[in-house]
Amino acid sequence: MPDQAVINSRRTGINWSTCITMVVFHAASIAALFMFTWKGLAAAALLWWISGSLGIGMGFHRLLTHRGFKTPKWVEYFLTICGMLTLESGAINWVATHRIHHSHTDAPGDPHTPRDGAWWAHIGWILTGTAQQHDEAILRRYTPDLMKDKVHVWLNKWFYLPLVVVGVLLFALGGWSLLMWGIFMRVTVGWHATWLVNSATHMWGTRRFETNEDSTNNPVVALLTFGEGWHNNHHAYPRAARHGFAWYELDVNWMGIRALQLLGLAHDIKLFKDAEPSVEDDASVGILSKAA
């Protein structure tokens, strides 16, 4: 059943601080085109992988949200800090949003379903919706595991600090080009790549599994997000740490998890064969109870 508390939490006014940040970063990204250097591009590419793959795909999503594998705490915190470099809010807020999405996929309460419009799913929900800013009651309901961890609570509060530190270092090492490409261009492109998972993969692609929502497998989005675009696979088996089920479904995030496993830094890895498919499986995050 729909979670009325979640439905009621959807905001209708403009999120001014978020909108201003979006305008500044998009404008700076355009300016970065006039400051191109190969070093700047290399810095952006490296940080895109660190933040998008290690941080969002492996850390925020497959580890923290779905507990698809386990790591030592220091690795968990490291991956969390990598994810903070995306400026997609703190891990607790990000995880809450995604767990809500899985509890109400393409139904009332879903923060960013394309059934409310493609623009809404891609960016509208950030500009005028929840923008991943949930009240404490929602956070305690959907992220009780993370809310009990004082380190995660602190990191969630100061989620922008790693980006500031890296920005200062880039400017000191390479001036404006490294700063504009490594921070503004990279963050802006990363935003849109992540948002395409919310929008495009619920509108265009193929469906291996007949789930009761609109998720699809989209190879373009998978390429841009290091494997997160195999979204129909993911919704069919939410806990699976591997999203690319077939040999031709490139899943860089899964390669990263396997690398951690080989180094002895990841264990108890969940695969699609470990559980029956479930599209409304709140147990996929390991801690949720069914929404009343």
Which tokens hold the place of 91?
């891990």
Structure confidence at residue 112 (pLDDT): 95
Q: Is the dihedral of CA 203, 133, 19, 7 positive or negative?
A: positive
Structure confidence at residue 14 (pLDDT): 87
pLDDT at 31 over 60: yes
For the question of whether the overall pTM of this predicted structure is more than 0.85, the answer is yes
Indicate whether 290 belongs to any domain.
no
Indicate whether 292 belongs to any domain.
no
CB 202 within 8 A of CB 102: no
Each as own residue / partner, the long-range contacts of residues 64-67 (CB below 8 Å, 24 or more positions apart, any chain) are 64/91, 64/95, 64/146, 65/94, 65/95, 65/98, 65/99, 65/285, 66/238, 66/239, 66/241, 66/270, 66/284, 66/285, 66/286, 67/239, 67/270, 67/285, 67/286, 67/287
Indicate whether 21 belongs to any domain.
yes
| Closest C-alpha among 91, 95, 94 to residue 158 | 91
| Closest C-alpha among 84, 96, 226, 86 to residue 161 | 84
Question: Which structural domain range is residue 167 located in?
Answer: 4-285
Indicate whether 291 belongs to any domain.
no
- What is the number of domains present in the chain? 1
Indicate whether 225 belongs to any domain.
yes
pLDDT at 89 over 60: yes
pLDDT at 251 over 50: yes
Indicate whether 58 belongs to any domain.
yes
Burial class (CB in 10 A: 0-12, 13-18, 19+), 264: exposed
Structure confidence at residue 272 (pLDDT): 80
Structure confidence at residue 13 (pLDDT): 80
Structure confidence at residue 9 (pLDDT): 52
Identify which of 7-21, 122-136, 193-207 has the greatest average pLDDT. 193-207
pLDDT band at 281 (very low <50, low <70, confident <90, very high): very low
**Through-space distance between the first and last CA atoms of the chain, rounded to whole angstroms:** 6
